[in-house]
Structure 1
């Protein structure tokens, strides 16, 4: 569509344009003059109009983080971009531009009203994150496939939709199709959808709708199952026993063991031990979580109790201070004033001593709590590691027994092969190993080494991860949490005491001057 300003040189959204737009749309008269003199911070702007400016590219809007309304209509924009920082945007107008692809809207999760009227869009797509959308205008675009409208079913809050003047609007079934498949709509193409039209549309497409609803339900159930599976996997990882509730470790042993695959049999006892490791890991993880929870509850309780004692001391001092200040205001004798101020300063020092004493007491208390917690966690982790190593030793024993049996059976099979007494049913791969005793023994030894290495690697992985977890958590508690809290508390006390001393010094000077 041609525009009067198509022959004008494309404009660039630069700082000068933005300042001008903000000033023009900001406060007027005296308030406007003040705002202009002091400067308007782009971060505070809530609404911005950049329409009819022949803008080709959306750019330089990253500072408008508080923006809720943006008007970019009647420009020559070809691509939606540069909006990632506008996370608070609720209303966006991009109508009357040259946009061909719906994209670049992922960050606008709060968007409720989106207008893209009169562009060149042919497919509705890439809007998955706009779940708060209430109003959408896609009229006068290049939409031709009615099936594409089913994409809009994901927007449960969408109530008003404009699709007028698109190619598919010429199809006889257009309106009934939209009403039938977008059943949450209240308004279509600026008209209220009445109940009679809705019922007629649903009846016409009953079979297709039922099939669609069934498929959506199945997809939703599948998604819920996947979410549940992923949450379970995260729990199992946190317990360091992921993929141990089945034959995965045994499968890993044979996955890279080409020769072993020709000889392997699934030992049920091995998988049973892995399941025991899995169950044990979940139980121990719960114990560790409970210990961590109790630790933080104990820490918070100690902090709160200490804080209440400190606040009581400060409240008592504040009440005393009011009386002292009133008394000082009545004293005219300089010596008496100095003596009373000296006594008051001594009381300030006593308050400082008391508050710092409370802080030292809390530091000692927390240090003891942390030591107890660390000992308990080390015991839990050590017990966990010992049991895991014991279980994996059982896996090694089972692998050794399995290896010995496989060796014995292979020798028997080899002897039969040498006498041509083998069944025709054995695989060609196995026949290739039955050349001589050294070949079969080497294949079994190589297979055994691979299996033992997998078990060793699993043990190393579990032990390393849980030790790193414990080390990281304790370092965080010792170095970050407690040190930061202590520094902040000491700073708060010192700042308060400094304020009290400055307050009385200023009062003394005023009193001395008056005197």
Structure 2
């Protein structure tokens, strides 16, 4: 489609464009200054012959974005706009619906007059209520069935698409999207909907049955994934079964060849080996879950105690302020301060007296809560002990896995050497694949193959153990670091409040000195 501005050079959204948009569309006066500083305006629109969406990360609070009548070819760079509820990308050159996954609050989406041929990639937009995709290239009615998953969708515009030329178009949409209220700017009346449901009754019943089965399957998968995530937080994911054992052999190229070795049945040997190995993993799994519950209980207790300490600190600070103002009752005459409030100062004596008393106020000399500090110290010590005990016991369990692997390796090596001797003496007449027979050209070859297999198995065990240690230590370090950062920030905020209070007193007193003079 040709446009009047096609001769204008294409643009990318840049800082200058953003600044101009903020100045033109943002709040004015003092609120406007704040908007320019914090990029917190709710609606932005651009029609600057834009080719590429970019540089919108600073508008994280944006709720409405209008980019219609540009030459945009790809939906991108919108991941930070998580509060967006209204998006207009109509009259552009978009061919694929993409890049909208993060916009989970989106309610109104317009892709009218683009080059889109398939409705897709909207799964996360479960709040969607209005969807305009008219004047595109939607060909099939079956593609519209994709929209059945959006329970809140009430308004749909498909007019101008090839699919609209189908004689059963309106009835099909009304039947397969039963909650739709408006289709192509027209109300879907009850009679038309009822007739459509009758027409497609059997097909819809079959589809609903399939959707029910799919939903049940998805619920099982979601539950499994939720359980895996829980196990990951305990650092014992997939240890409640044979996953580690199976992965040892799955990544071992020699394992399948060595299975052909005769003698003592390797399958029977592996069955005993595997069952014992899995039992050890399951013990580690159960132990890890119990330790995780202990860590979680410790964290919950810490925050409970910390909140009590902070509340106690708040009460003490409020009392200090009340006592300070009551002590200086002759200095300020006004409403008594209540918790969380400050009263104006009325001058009845020298300002230096009040400021001197303020500087020695316990709030200014002791802004930190001693109790909170003690709670954090105890927490840090308890977490270190819990993690240390967990790692120590975990390191005591994994050697049993290595012992089993070593026993298996010795037995396998013995079988391999015996087989080689039989082949050399021409006493071996069993069938063996060519790639397996190639291992028996000499002793070094077969021994190296068995040792390589053994090394792979041990490496798997070592890596799994190291992974648990690394994650546990990393969790403890990050947790304690965040606690300290939060406390430092809280203390800085408290000091800032105190300084502001002192500045307020000083300003009030200075003004009164001027009035008296």
> TM-score with structure 2 length normalisation?
0.77
Are residues 19 and 367 of structure 1, via their aligned partners in 2, closer, same or farther at CA, if it must alter by over 3 Å?
closer
Q: Which residue of 2 aligns with 1:103?
A: 97
| Structure 2: distance between partners of 1:330 and 1:271 | 80
Q: 1:125 and 2:120 equivalent?
A: yes
Q: What's the CA shift for 1:309?
A: 1.0
Residue by residue over 1:242-284, the C-alpha shift from the partner in whole angstroms, topping out at 9 and shown as x without a partner, is 2222222223333343334414624110111011111111111
Q: Please, what is the CA RMSD of the aligned residues?
A: 4.2
Q: What's the CA shift for 1:105?
A: 6.3
Q: Which 5+ residue runs of structure 1 have no aligned equivalent?
A: 332-336
Q: Which residue of 2 aligns with 1:355?
A: 363
Q: What's the CA shift for 1:118?
A: 5.1
Q: Which residue of 2 aligns with 1:499?
A: 504
* 1:133–1:157 CA contact under 8 A, matched in 2: yes
> TM-score with structure 1 length normalisation?
0.77
Greater displacement, 295-304 / 258-267: 258-267
| Structure 2: distance between partners of 1:16 and 1:412 | 80
**Aligned 1:71-220 pairs, distance under 5 A:** 75=69, 77=71, 79=73, 84=78, 90-91=85-86, 97=91, 99=93, 101-103=95-97, 106=100, 109-117=104-112, 120-220=115-215
* 2:75–2:94 CA contact under 8 A, matched in 1: no
Counterpart secondary structure, 1:258? coil
| Structure 2: distance between partners of 1:359 and 1:236 | 41
Are residues 116 and 309 of structure 1, via their aligned partners in 2, closer, same or farther at CA, if it must alter by over 3 Å?
closer
Q: What's the CA shift for 1:178?
A: 1.0
| Structure 2: distance between partners of 1:508 and 1:210 | 85
Q: Which residue of 2 aligns with 1:334?
A: none
* 1:83–1:104 CA contact under 8 A, matched in 2: no
Counterpart secondary structure, 1:244? coil
Equivalent in 467, 491, 502 of residue 486 of structure 1: 491
- What is the number of residues matched between the two proteins? 487
Q: What's the CA shift for 1:93?
A: 5.3
Equivalent in 259, 278, 290 of residue 271 of structure 1: 278
Q: 1:286 and 2:293 equivalent?
A: yes
Counterpart secondary structure, 2:331? helix
* 2:331–2:347 CA contact under 8 A, matched in 1: no
Q: Which residue of 2 aligns with 1:303?
A: 310
Are residues 410 and 165 of structure 1, via their aligned partners in 2, closer, same or farther at CA, if it must alter by over 3 Å?
closer
Are residues 131 and 260 of structure 1, via their aligned partners in 2, closer, same or farther at CA, if it must alter by over 3 Å?
closer
* 2:154–2:179 CA contact under 8 A, matched in 1: yes
* 1:139–1:165 CA contact under 8 A, matched in 2: yes
Q: What's the CA shift for 1:204?
A: 2.0
| Structure 2: distance between partners of 1:425 and 1:158 | 66
Residue by residue over 1:211-236, the C-alpha shift from the partner in whole angstroms, topping out at 9 and shown as x without a partner, is 32233333333433343333333332
Equivalent in 393, 401, 411 of residue 399 of structure 2: 393
Q: What's the CA shift for 1:396?
A: 1.8
| Structure 1: distance between partners of 2:333 and 2:409 | 93
Q: Which has the larger radius of gyration?
A: 1
Q: 1:234 and 2:229 equivalent?
A: yes
* 2:109–2:130 CA contact under 8 A, matched in 1: yes
Q: Which 5+ residue runs of structure 2 have no aligned equivalent?
A: 260-265, 335-344
Choose between structure 1 and 2: higher helix proportion.
Answer: 1
